[in-house]
Amino acid sequence: MDFLFLKIPSIGGTPFFPNLMGASNSETMLLMKMADFSSIYLGTGFLICALSLPLFFRKIPMNSFYGVRFAASYRSPEAWFAINHHGGKALLLAALPILGVGLFGRIFQNAWQDASITYASIGGAIVFSSLLTATVHSAVIARRIGRQLQG
């Protein structure tokens, strides 16, 4: 099975902690399946895509709520749109590995037994590193555009 289990103390198969999957009463409680994690990763990837596309296509005017908001972004409307275009592209590219992790989990959810913890850990690391890379790239681009506007 592809389940993530949590060891719990013996409660004796009460209605609150039923005997799951034929396990002994004191052994396991079902938490999340690999498919649940893949749904989270797919949803995260699609959400990032949806948030990045308006930035990439320069549809978001200067504001203090939504966009790539560095000090250089507020220097001019041209800087805002240029920085947000690059930031949107970076986010869109960051969403690709996240979507890949989600698709991988969907395709192989029944192939491995008890792989949920490993899948969740590796997937979480990929999400974190993808978003960190997009953030650092956006900061570098914002600094570069800010210097071009000064000089």
Residue 147 pLDDT: 94
Enter the tokens of residue 27: 């052994």
pLDDT tens digits, one per residue of 62-113: 999 999 999 999 999 999 999 999 999 999 999 999 999 999 999 988 876 6
DSSP assignment, residue 73?
G
Residue 41 in contact with residue 102, Cβ under 8 Å? Answer: yes
Indicate the domain borders of the chain.
Answer: 33-150
Q: Does residue 17 have a pLDDT over 80?
A: no
Least confident of 27-31, 75-79, 135-139, 140-144: 27-31
Residue 2 in contact with residue 33, Cβ under 8 Å? Answer: yes
Q: What is the pTM of this model?
A: 0.77
